Amino acid sequence: MRHKRWQLPLLLAALGTLSACGGLSGLGRPKPAPAVESAGPPQDSAALLPLLELMSTLPQGDPARQAELFQSAKDAADLTPTTSNRLRYALALATPGYSGSNPVAAQRQLSELLARPETLLPVERLLATVALKQVEQTLVLQAENKRMRDEIPRDSHEKEQALNRRLAAEQDENAKLRKQLDEARAKLEAVTHIEQRPRTP
């Protein structure tokens, strides 16, 4: 397939920048730091943890658990439409690999959030941007698959096999995405733990 996978390396690079600017910079060279400086990066990092947790867990749970997580995100966005709750719901819609995934609705929700980028934390903007790109690529692929189905004659076994291979490749890509999400979450948890450790004067 020609469509790109989720650009999570960008997210990992951003997390590395956060750790370089935050708690990691104090190791080995103790120096006093204003309280506001140490509070910034952990807040950004902590904001991503529940989002990555949701995106990683949704495709792996049983149907009942998936429905529970999705409905919780939807209810929070409907009843308390804060930016954080709306982003959580948008990412739930954008996450592939389970029945609640809806790239069309996810594209609309993410576009609305990114239309007011000042309401998002920097790491939230990055995650929303990456998710929107993936959703747009998914929609392009779905349109191409539909066109191929419409053009394939019923007796064209070879073309049907090519389409099945393409769909299987997309499923493999989703599995790789879930693995990347798990790795990103583990890295973020490690960064957050280091940033929140008390510094030795």
Please say if the pLDDT value at position 148 is more than 60: yes
Q: Region 163-187: what's the mean pLDDT?
A: 76
Cβ atoms of 20 and 194 closer than 8 Å: no
Query: What pLDDT was estimated at residue 88?
Result: 95
Please say if the pLDDT value at position 14 is more than 50: no
What is the residue type of 51?
Answer: L
Q: Region 108-119: what's the mean pLDDT?
A: 95
**pTM above the 0.75 mark?**
no
Query: What pLDDT was estimated at residue 70?
Result: 94
Q: Maximum CA pair distance of the chain?
A: 76
- CA pair distance 143, 112, nearest whole angstrom: 23
Which of these ranges, 38-52, 134-148, 158-172, has the smallest mean pLDDT? 38-52
Highest mean pLDDT among 27-36, 58-67, 101-110: 101-110
Tokens encoding 55:
């995106």
Closest alpha carbon to 127 in 13, 19, 48 = 48
Query: What pLDDT was estimated at residue 200?
Result: 56
Cβ atoms of 88 and 72 closer than 8 Å: no
Q: Region 5-25: what's the mean pLDDT?
A: 44
Cβ atoms of 109 and 83 closer than 8 Å: no
The conformational region for residue 32 under phi > 0 = left, psi -120 to 50 = alpha, else beta, is: beta
Q: Region 123-151: what's the mean pLDDT?
A: 86
- CA pair distance 163, 148, nearest whole angstrom: 7
For residue 26, name the pLDDT band (cuts at 50, 70, 90). Answer: very low
Query: What pLDDT was estimated at residue 193?
Result: 65
The per-type count for the chain, helices as H runs and strands as E runs, is 7, 0
